[in-house]
Amino acid sequence: MEPSDVRAAGPHTFLSTLAHSNLMSGLYYEEFDVDETIEHDRRRTISESDNQRFCDMTMNQQPLHLDREFAAETEFGERLVNGLYTMSLAVGLSIPETTDGTIVANLSYDDVSHPNPVFCGDTIRARSTIADKRETSDGERGVVTMRVEVFNQRDDLVCEFDRTVLSLKREHAEGDE
């Protein structure tokens, strides 16, 4: 199935069309195993432009992210990448192997920490460890919590957080009945 066929399917059949195509790579609820660790293959080098655009879009004018002279006078000696960008990018890097096409909703992001700074030019990667899972009360979906860890090119841990999602069960995915 081609991407244009998925879009043409319309909103009522989008999930079932996506689930039956070869475009989806995420896991259904029953495919997640507690304590399983997923190393995500995609990496991303963060540019100055990425950081600038994210700060502009979110209206975050913190000089530590944007002002070279200001940042040079701090303990870091240079501008830091916005921590929310780092976290958002990590979610994006993790989606193909976890929730691409199988998610109902992101429910929460908890216990976020940034133990080391991220600088423009750093290349980050992510890994997810399945921390917990439980079925919903109706038994048609499941709640999955994964611990996402983010590392730079030197393997320094730069961000970590828990991501909790509402996941489709294969047997109850739209159109699978």
The string of pLDDT tens digits covering residues 110-121 is: 999 999 999 999
pLDDT of residue 175: 56
- Rounded to an integer, what distance in angstroms lies between the CA atom of residue 75 and that of residue 87? 22
pLDDT at 31 over 80: yes
Q: What is the mean pLDDT of residues 148-173?
A: 95
- Determine which helix (DSSP H) or strand (DSSP E) holds 164, and give its type and residue range: strand 157-168
Q: In the predicted model, what is the mean pLDDT of residues 123-151?
A: 97
pTM: 0.83
DSSP element (H, E) containing 148 = strand 141-151
User: Which tens digit of pLDDT belongs to each residue from 89-116?
Assistant: 999 999 999 999 999 999 999 999 999 9
**d(C-alpha 176, C-alpha 81), whole Å:** 43
Task: Retrieve residue 137's tokens.
Answer: 């009360």
The residue assigned the tokens 């976890």 is 98
Mean of pLDDT values over 78-90: 97
